Amino acid sequence: MEQEKEFKELIKELYRHQFKQVQERVKSGCATGEDMIFIRDHLKGLKDKEG
């Protein structure tokens, strides 16, 4: 159980790091197609949580 909890925390941290990188590329105008897919999936995830 403890390993699973640690693993989930690592995944969250990795996701936060990736999100920050995508944000920086969007702000600087250097976003890639992969960044757009990441944003779409992130927004879809937020919508799924609401609905």
Number of H helices, E strands in the chain: 2, 0
Enter the DSSP assignment of 11: H
48, pLDDT greater than 90? no
Backbone angles phi, psi at 32, to 5 degrees: -105, 175
d(CA 40, CA 37): 5
Q: Provide CB contacts within 8 A for 26, sequence distance 6+.
A: 35, 39
| Residue 8 reports pLDDT greater than 70 | yes
For the cut 70, the answer to whether the pLDDT of residue 36 exceeds it is: yes
Mean pLDDT of 2-30: 95
Q: What's the mean per-residue pLDDT of the chain? A: 92
Position 51 pLDDT exceeds 70: no
Question: Residue 25 in contact with residue 32, Cβ under 8 Å?
Answer: yes
